[in-house]
Structure 1
Amino acid sequence: MTEQPVCLTLIVPRQLRDEVFDYLAERADLISGFSASAGTGHGADVRLHTAAERVKGHADQAIVQVILAGSDAGRLLEGLRVSFAGTRLVYWTTPVTEFGRID
């Protein structure tokens, strides 16, 4: 990766988890993999979809992180905007100062 890498973070509602994971897996032209963990969404803008979420007071979500070149992040976001229009996926990017593997 010669271009400055970024970390793209996606906050994915539980109902879209598998669909977003499948979409990312199909984008091998842009990413080699991603990490995901469970999260909970809190706040006025968070939709509580199920009775259980309303009782708990938070939404079940997946937090997805992808390290990729900045221009590839833009291309991936364009595709996500088309494929997941209206779903209110939350995202942000942050610069990555170092990335590698310890073998």
Structure 2
Amino acid sequence: MTDQKVCLTLIVPHRLREEVFDYLAEQSDLVSGFTASHAAGHGGEVRLHTAAERVQGHADQAMVQVIVLQDDSTRLLDRIRVSFAGTRLVYWATPVTDFGIID
């Protein structure tokens, strides 16, 4: 087991936003909290689900970021792959060199 922290970023279609938020909240053994913000998806692989998205030319999405241990990130992704199979969630993990709370 490694103690290297990573920032796991998930790009979530707007229609799955609340479901993913609820799911992550249920994974309390791996996830102590997360940050979410609005994102606009662009590109050939991005699906535009609504008429508004087609007019705007981008997909309304949420970007969710979770700071976890690298091994926990792997376990969390394994769970997400099962629970959200076929949803085309985009993800990446980046090393975190420093993490803390300024009190």
> Match of 2:78, as an amino acid?
E
Q: How many residues align?
A: 102
User: Structure 2 matches for 1:17-28, cutoff 5 A?
Assistant: 17-28=17-28
Question: Which contiguous aligned blocks of 4+ residues in structure 1 show a shift greater than 6 angstroms?
Answer: none
Partner Cα separation in structure 1 for residue 68 and residue 47 of structure 2 = 29
Look up the SS of the partner of 1:76 in the other structure. helix
Deviation at residue 31 of structure 1 after TM alignment: 1.0
Look up the SS of the partner of 2:20 in the other structure. helix
Structure 2 partner of 1:55: 55
Look up the SS of the partner of 1:43 in the other structure. coil
Look up the SS of the partner of 1:85 in the other structure. coil
Structure 2: which 5+ residue stretches go unaligned? none
Structure 1: which 5+ residue stretches go unaligned? none
Partner Cα separation in structure 2 for residue 9 and residue 3 of structure 1 = 18
Look up the SS of the partner of 1:49 in the other structure. coil
Structure 2 partner of 1:78: 78
**TM-score under structure 2 length normalisation:** 0.98
